[in-house]
Amino acid sequence: MSAPALSRTRIKICGLTREADVDAAIEAGADAIGFVLYPKSPRAVTAGRAAELASRLPPFITPVLLFVNEDAPKVIASLAQVKGSIAQFHGEETPQQCEEAAGGGRFRYMRAARIPLGDAGAGFDLVKYASDYSHAQAILLDAHVEGYGGGGKAFDWSLLPPAVDAHLVLSGGLTPANVSDGIRILRTRCKTLSVDVSSGVEIDGPGNKGLKDAGKIRQFVAAVRAADASFSS
């Protein structure tokens, strides 16, 4: 693997359901906006709603559609409906199923790797996983919790391999308080590193999944930029 590129860390804000939250993410400087198209998620939206929200995005901010074990025709139709979007496969999709659901190269996609919590994380072969899904634009790292995504849990980042020949997206339990540590630990272990936050920038309290806190979004972006600055200093 070539030397890691120490470019700025890209930021994705995921699980958005409201116009105000999309606008807050744009204003804070997010690079990508995530919409959950998994009906069982408390943050779920339809493809039509995702298209409506994504229409607020200016150029060069990417909409990402999260799917879990969805039929390929529905994935393709959703990606076509939300212009400029890429897919994030978060279930048990095989490499072949990912390719099929991405229209055989028509659309780009990321593949989520569900890393076990605790010491078991050391047994996850991320190098092989990245090789198996080599057609994915990036491998997204999330904690393996019951259900699919949105658990707000962080796995042990230090247990990941020292060198992975892939673009990685760190997710799972990130907050404004810990994202700089994640960047510090992982940034030199891959081609490039991005970060993805959902529950860590939501309004406090039960029943607020999918409702973002604009202040927390700004704090998260500021923490990422501060971490980047520490690498260049």
Active site residues: 14, 142
- Cα angle: 33, vertex 17, 65; to 5 degrees: 45
CA–CA gap between residue 174 and residue 183 (Å, rounded): 11
- CA-CA-CA-CA torsion sign (37, 174, 84, 25): positive
Say if residue 139 is exposed, middle or buried (CB neighbours under 10 Å; 0-12, 13-18, 19+).
buried
Are 156 and 121 within 8 A, CB to CB? yes
Are the beta carbons of 99 and 105 closer than 8 angstroms? Answer: yes
Report how far residue 135's alpha carbon sits from residue 120's, in angstroms, rounded to the nearest whole number: 27
Enter the DSSP assignment of 212.
B
Contacts of 21 (CB under 8 A, 6+ apart): 13, 211, 212, 214, 217
